Amino acid sequence: MENKDIPSWIYALEKEDVEFIKNFVIHSGSLKDVAKLYEVSYPTVRIKLDRLIEKVKLHDETENENFIQFVKQLVIDDRVELEEAKLIIDKYKSERLEK
């Protein structure tokens, strides 16, 4: 696979996120097994997976918009929480549609 074939959302993830995805796949999608691997509770792994899912969704929804890219990067950098970023992006989108 060439770099141009790698989806852009992969590049938006941190190294630990990609490692988590790798471990998730290796363990056949078993959150229970991944929890054992990381020595954390199942709910902790579920939360991690949910956050990863939201990062990917956020990236796919907003890939080409500069302002939204900026807000998304704040989430990736842990400078803004995901829920607040969603509110900001939703407000931005609704105001953009009103124009």
Cα atoms in the 13 Å half-sphere on the side-chain side of 29: 0
Question: Distances from the Cα of 81 to the Cαs of 3, 62, 71, 92, in angstroms?
Answer: 30, 17, 10, 17
Residue-by-residue pLDDT tens, the chain, 99 positions: 777 777 878 887 889 999 999 999 999 999 999 999 999 999 999 999 999 998 888 776 666 577 888 888 898 888 999 899 989 988 887 776 665
pLDDT of 72: 84
Exposed, middle or buried, 11 (CB in 10 Å: 0-12/13-18/19+)?
A: exposed
Overall pTM > 0.85: no
pLDDT at 99: 56
User: Long-range contacts for 42-48 (Cβ within 8 Å, ≥24 apart)?
Assistant: 48/20
